[in-house]
Chain A
Amino acid sequence: MKNILLATKRLALSESGFVFDPVSGQSFSVNDTGLVILRLAQHQDDIEQLTEQLLEQFDASSVEIKRDVQDFIHRLQGFLK
């Protein structure tokens, strides 16, 4: 989990949600929430703290946010191997 947060530091992020991975050469699209998570992840290597920051910003339960973030991180693991 920590490794994947480290891997996000190499990503180039645009305002519109366009994401470029210079290691694999692949590009991605993320939605607004995905962009917020990637931005936080680039300056954060603790998943618990990242979730806390999201809870402060978004109107949702901790259960919902934790579940969706976990799903998103699993997805990233597949893409940023």
Chain B
Amino acid sequence: MKNIATKNPWVAPVIVRHSSSGMNKFGGVRDAQFRDEIAGVSIAELVEKYGSPLFVLSEEHLRQSVRRINRAFTTRYAKVRQAWSYKTNYINAVSAILHQEGCDAEVVSEFEYDKARRLGVPASRIFFNGPYKSRGALTKAVSEGARIHVDHLDELALLEEVAAELNILNFPITIRLNFDTGFAENWGRFGFNLENGQAMEAARRIAASPNLKLTGLHNHIGTFITDPRAYTAQVGIMINFMNNVEAATDCTITTLDIGGGFASRNAMQGVYLPPEQITPTAEQYAEAICGALAIGLKDREQNGKPLPELVLETGRAVVDEAEWLISSVVANKRLPTGQRAMVLDAGVNILFTAFWYNHEVRPARPVEGIPEDTVLYGPLCMNIDVVRQSVSLPPLKTGDLLSFWPVGAYNNTQWMQFIQLRPAVVMVRQNGQVDVVRRAETLDDVEEPENLPIDLQPDFS
């Protein structure tokens, strides 16, 4: 006993070669610190109670984030609606908070539409987007009075049939546009092209239909747009088309939906500058968009037309920074190349965005020791399961916890049950209480839809 007390604590030995390359003034210091709490709750205690890996949402972060975007736009333009993009994270607790904050719903499938309706969202506050809506889905959405964004001519024809069957006249619809802003890559696959006349053709067809009425224009310029000027160009082009289509078809446009695409403070792989420097603030996006609206719409009310409402399909920018993933180190390895590797209990099966982001990775306790370049592998027996190709981390032991951030967007929807079960998602409430908002998956959850024919039951007796 006495002998043990005099011994020094063991820290894994580390040797790092000095590099003579110059300092990088753009590099900044990332991943150097530790994070031992989320919204005031200890990470170690969360894992002890709810297991590892674990997704942790912060209600406070989520509410502050949506309020900031709302404030940035409503102080610059009179009519603004935020439509929460369900596909980004459709856990009910997340959607419910955003609806409490005044958001409408933007859905892209019948499944998402039903999810929003079940949560109590009135159909009139659901923007039904996406390239595929079945006849059944359209019939339900039209009869309930949802706001439908038409993607192609076949859908337009189907929608006309549905409205006629329901004996509905002048059902208000929005058409999706695609065009070149000169900034982001043109997403030509969605909607009607503006440059080649498809969009105007669709508008004429709607004008000729007794059952439909064109009242809205939609465009989504792309994703993770870090140059707000792209939105200035987008809004200018949409207003120009609005004026043309109103003159050509005698319609009145009351909605301009500029889609989503706002970036979060996540580090996109292959981008040199850190997110702190390249991610625009909500105010910068709002300034670019509302400035273009002010210029383009300055004579509109004098000309007897209403100011269109601006619809934002916000997703990533609202939720990404409000969620963390906690994972445990299960093994340390040394690769043949000399690089250090760690195996974690969370992989690309639940952290899907690791394919395109370099998340911020922090130990959950202060760790002494020289940081070393490390590759982080997940638990899957698959070569692609790399959650971080290269990150500088101090020596860590098995059982040590790491937090990944921001992970709120596209992980809780794109994750998959593959090899491993999906872990729990908890939310730290504003009062500090922790609620499980999605329990950990069980084998029963996975096998419930299956049916094993009786004669296929293996016999090992």
Smallest beta-carbon distance B62→chain A, Å = 40
The CA-CA distance from A37 to B10 in the complex, in Å, is: 12
Smallest beta-carbon distance A41→chain B, Å = 11
Interface residue from B9, B13, B332 paired with A30 (Cβ < 8 Å): B13
Interface residues on B, range: 20 to 34
Q: Once the chains bind, are B15 and A33 in contact (CB under 8 Å)?
A: no
B:346-400 near A, CB below 8 Å: 368-370, 395
Q: Tell me if B11 counts as interface (CB < 8 A to partner A).
A: yes
Q: Tell me if B23 counts as interface (CB < 8 A to partner A).
A: no
Residues of B within 8 A of A60 (CB): 9-10
For chain A, what secondary structure do more than half of its interface residues adopt (helix, strand, loop), or is it mixed?
A: helix
Binary interface profile of B, 1-42, with partner A (CB < 8 Å = 1, else 0)?
000100111111111111000000000000000000000000
Q: Which residue on B lies nearest to A37, using beta carbons?
A: B13
Q: Once the chains bind, are B338 and A78 in contact (CB under 8 Å)?
A: yes
Residues of B within 8 A of A28 (CB): 15-18
The CA-CA distance from A31 to B334 in the complex, in Å, is: 18
Q: Once the chains bind, are A57 and B18 in contact (CB under 8 Å)?
A: no
Q: Which residue on A lies nearest to B17, using beta carbons?
A: A28
Number of A-B contacts (CB under 8 A): 73
**7 nearest A-B pairs in the assembled complex, by CB-CB distance:** A60-B10, A34-B13, A59-B7, A33-B13, A58-B10, A72-B13, A78-B338
Q: Once the chains bind, are A30 and B18 in contact (CB under 8 Å)?
A: no
Q: Once the chains bind, are A26 and B10 in contact (CB under 8 Å)?
A: no
Residues of B within 8 A of A75 (CB): 15, 334, 338
A:36-81 near B, CB below 8 Å: 36-37, 56-60, 64-65, 68-69, 71-72, 74-76, 78-79
Smallest beta-carbon distance A27→chain B, Å = 5
Q: Once the chains bind, are A74 and B334 in contact (CB under 8 Å)?
A: yes
Q: Tell me if A7 counts as interface (CB < 8 A to partner B).
A: no
The CA-CA distance from A37 to B330 in the complex, in Å, is: 25
Q: Once the chains bind, are B15 and A34 in contact (CB under 8 Å)?
A: yes
Smallest beta-carbon distance B214→chain A, Å = 67
Residues of B within 8 A of A71 (CB): 12-13, 332, 334
Q: List 29 A-B contacts (CB under 8 A).
A: A27-B17, A28-B17, A29-B15, A29-B16, A30-B370, A31-B14, A31-B370, A31-B395, A32-B11, A33-B10, A33-B11, A33-B12, A34-B14, A34-B15, A37-B13, A56-B7, A57-B8, A58-B10, A59-B4, A59-B10, A68-B12, A68-B13, A69-B13, A72-B15, A75-B15, A76-B15, A78-B338, A79-B15, A79-B17
The CA-CA distance from A74 to B332 in the complex, in Å, is: 14
Residues of B within 8 A of A56 (CB): 7
Q: Tell me if A19 counts as interface (CB < 8 A to partner B).
A: yes
Q: Which residue on B lies nearest to A18, using beta carbons?
A: B18
Given contacts A37-B13, A65-B10, 9 further A-B contacts (CB under 8 A): A28-B15, A30-B15, A31-B13, A36-B13, A56-B7, A57-B7, A60-B10, A68-B10, A75-B15
Q: Once the chains bind, are B12 and A19 in contact (CB under 8 Å)?
A: no
Known A-B contacts A75-B334, A75-B338; A29 and B9 likewise in contact (beta carbons under 8 Å) = no
Residues of B within 8 A of A36 (CB): 13
The CA-CA distance from A63 to B408 in the complex, in Å, is: 40
The CA-CA distance from A36 to B369 in the complex, in Å, is: 14
Residues of A within 8 A of B332 (CB): 71
Interface residue from A29, A34, A64, A76 paired with B18 (Cβ < 8 Å): A29
Q: Which residue on A lies nearest to B9, using beta carbons?
A: A59
Q: Once the chains bind, are A31 and B7 in contact (CB under 8 Å)?
A: no
A:13-31 near B, CB below 8 Å: 19, 26-31
Residues of A within 8 A of B8 (CB): 57-59
Smallest beta-carbon distance A21→chain B, Å = 10
The CA-CA distance from A29 to B4 in the complex, in Å, is: 29
The CA-CA distance from A25 to B334 in the complex, in Å, is: 25
Q: Which residue on A lies nearest to B334, using beta carbons?
A: A71
Residues of A within 8 A of B16 (CB): 28-30
Most chain B CB within a 10 A radius of its CB, from A29, A33, A56: A33
Q: Once the chains bind, are A30 and B10 in contact (CB under 8 Å)?
A: no
The CA-CA distance from A68 to B332 in the complex, in Å, is: 10
The CA-CA distance from A36 to B13 in the complex, in Å, is: 9
